[in-house]
Structure 1
Amino acid sequence: MEPTPPKVNAMPARALAAALCLVAAGCQYLPPLPERPRDVFSSPIIARGHLVSAEQLQQITPGVTARADVQALLGSPSQTATFSDDTWYYISSSTQLRPGRALAVSNQRVVVVAFNPNGTVSELRELGQTDGRNISFASRETPVPGNDLTLLQGLFGNIGRFNPTGSTSGQPAAPGVANQSSR
């Protein structure tokens, strides 16, 4: 009789493979090598929106610069005023990826260009992240007409309302359903 080789427990090998997969998945968070900052565990800053430089803003003079000149210099605005085209907004922000794939805004900047009725710049402002306002939503609820049934009332309220044969006594059955009382 030939001696059988000792059985090797596959559990440590599987645990090692799982640990290597977790380590490799954690490397996905790191930015690519050419962009990698000194702090390896911080993600790169992502610029979003319409970034307006200080040099571009210096070229705009209130009372002198026309609407067409602003559009040629800065491009189309990110947003215009709600009810008129007299105010343009150039919105930009810097975001950074946080663990768990959540984006966090690290810097936000809004350049507001207002025009007078003649079409020249009347006001030029810069707003930062601290100029923003928290908008609180109304906690009121609009009442909906109808029954205020609970879930259980809705479920058990239908018991006995419908005949399983498809007809009620004295009423004809739906088309295509045989009436049991006529048999």
Structure 2
Amino acid sequence: MRKVGHKIRTAGMVLALSALAAGCSSIRDHRGYLIDHTLLDSVQPGIDNRLSVEKTLGRPTFVSQFGTKDYYYVSQVVKTPPFGRPRTADETILRVRFDDAGNVTAVDKRGMEQVARISPNGDKTPTLGRHRSLLEDLFGNIGAVGAGGVGGGPATPTGPGPNGS
């Protein structure tokens, strides 16, 4: 009887530890366009046009706003560690370029090598101008703007209507 209770307790501890370990793994999430390399390889420069690209690859993530109307397909894999911020683990950007007639001229593929990592400059953004104290910020505009009714003007409405209009 004692061996059975010990086995049940051991099995319970193993299950609890495995549940804890599963909770500590990061979450992997895919965002954006799902790349199918077979469909991507079927898009041929000089043969396909805008309509055939949309039928093959689907609607683009976005279309360029300036210059030629290139199609962009964006795909991201984001990992979120426990108690951490999401980080982009992999990113692929497909650009389908068109000529003026709407025919495909090239298909470009870019990845994480084009992603720029920036580091903000501390907690404050440096600005030009005067450094003011808290009291100057709170009371700095007193007397700077004229109050209504003060300054020598008539205090009664001047027009023929009931409110001076």
Higher relative contact order, structure no. (Cα contacts within 8 Å, ≥ 6 residues apart): 2
Q: What percentage of aligned pairs have identical amino acids?
A: 28
Give the structure 1 partner of residue 98 of structure 2: 115
Q: Give 2:104's aligned amino acid.
A: V
> Structure 1 stretch 125-134 or stretch 72-81: which is displaced more?
125-134
How far apart are 1:132 and its partner, in Å? 2.3
TM normalised by structure 1 equals 0.55
Of 73, 90, 94, which residue of structure 1 is paired with 2:56? 73
Deviation at 1:150, TM superposition (A): 2.8
Query: 2-side partners of 1:156 and 1:118: how far apart?
Result: 63
The question of whether the paired residues in 1 share the 8 Å contact of 2:72 and 2:96 is answered with yes
Q: Could you say what the CA RMSD is over the residues aligned between the two structures, in angstroms?
A: 3.7
- Following the alignment from structure 2 to structure 1, what is the Cα–Cα distance between the partners of residues 136 and 80? 47
Q: Distance in 2 between matches of 1:152 and 1:79?
A: 48
What is aligned with 1:98? 81
Inter-partner Cα distance in structure 2 for 1:152 and 1:98: 43
| Structure 1 residue runs without a partner (length 5+) | 1-23, 31-38, 162-166, 176-183
Distance 2:115 2:58 in 1: 24
Q: CA deviation at 1:85?
A: 5.2
Taking structure 2 as the reference length, the TM-score comes to 0.61
User: How far off is 1:151 after superposition?
Assistant: 2.1
Q: Would you say how many aligned residue pairs link Structure 1 and Structure 2?
A: 128
Query: Which residue in 1 is equivalent to 2:5?
Result: none
Note closer, same or farther for the CA distance 1:53–1:121 as it changes in structure 2 (3 Å cut): same
- Other structure's SS at 1:77 match: coil
Structure 2: give runs of 5+ residues left out of the alignment: 1-15, 144-148, 157-165
Matching of residues 135-154 of structure 1 within 5 Å: 141=127, 149-154=132-137
State the structure with more CA Rg: 1
Structure 1 counterpart of 2:110 = 127
Q: Which amino acid aligns with 1:58?
A: D
Closer/same/farther in 2, CA of residues 148 and 42 from structure 1, 3 Å limit: closer
